[in-house]
């Protein structure tokens, strides 16, 4: 699993479909916006490990974690984190797990975070999403499990 974690001062995700747009996830104030990518050999154990790391990662103001200050997280599935653009002009997505594998593992990250006590908002798996955020710092880290 791979996650791009951004410390934010508010973030939201909007889904657009034939009937209009809908905000499906939003956090207000300081928290984390987390883009999660899944590869073929990821497991529920890795999802739980990632959730624990996100909940305790000390990157908020004054080196606090979400667990310290009960800060919210916005978790969004992002298969393009496993894109490979080393050759040619088009990335390949061979390392990204297919939807039937990836979706339950992203859901497991969310479920594990909630079981730890986190307030978690989400995107909509496989949807056409627009993510808006204010990166605070800016502060962005990459986590690999």
Cβ proximity of 68 and 31 under 8 Å: no
Token code pair at residue 27: 């956090």
How far apart CA 96 and CA 114 sit, in angstroms, is 25
Rounded to a whole number of angstroms, the distance between the first and last alpha carbons of the chain is: 5
All residues at 6 or more sequence positions from 41 whose CB lies less than 8 Å from its CB, including other chains: none
Q: Could you list the active site residues?
A: 78-80
């Amino acid at each position: 699993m791979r996650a791009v974690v951004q410390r934010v001062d508010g973030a939201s995700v909007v889904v657009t479909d034939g009937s209009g747009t809908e905000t499906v996830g939003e956090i207000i104030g300081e928290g984390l916006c987390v883009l999660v990518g899944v590869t073929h050999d990821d497991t529920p154990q890795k999802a739980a490990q990632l959730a624990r790391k996100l909940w305790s990662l000390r990157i908020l103001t004054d080196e606090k974690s979400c667990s310290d200050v009960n800060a919210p997280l916005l978790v969004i599935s992002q298969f393009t984190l496993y894109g490979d653009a080393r050759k040619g002009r088009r990335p390949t997505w061979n390392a990204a797990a297919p939807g039937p594998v990836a979706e339950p593992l992203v859901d497991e990250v969310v479920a594990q975070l909630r079981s730890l006590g986190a307030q978690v908002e989400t995107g909509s798996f496989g949807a056409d999403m627009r993510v808006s955020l204010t990166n605070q710092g800016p502060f962005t880290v990459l986590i690999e499990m």
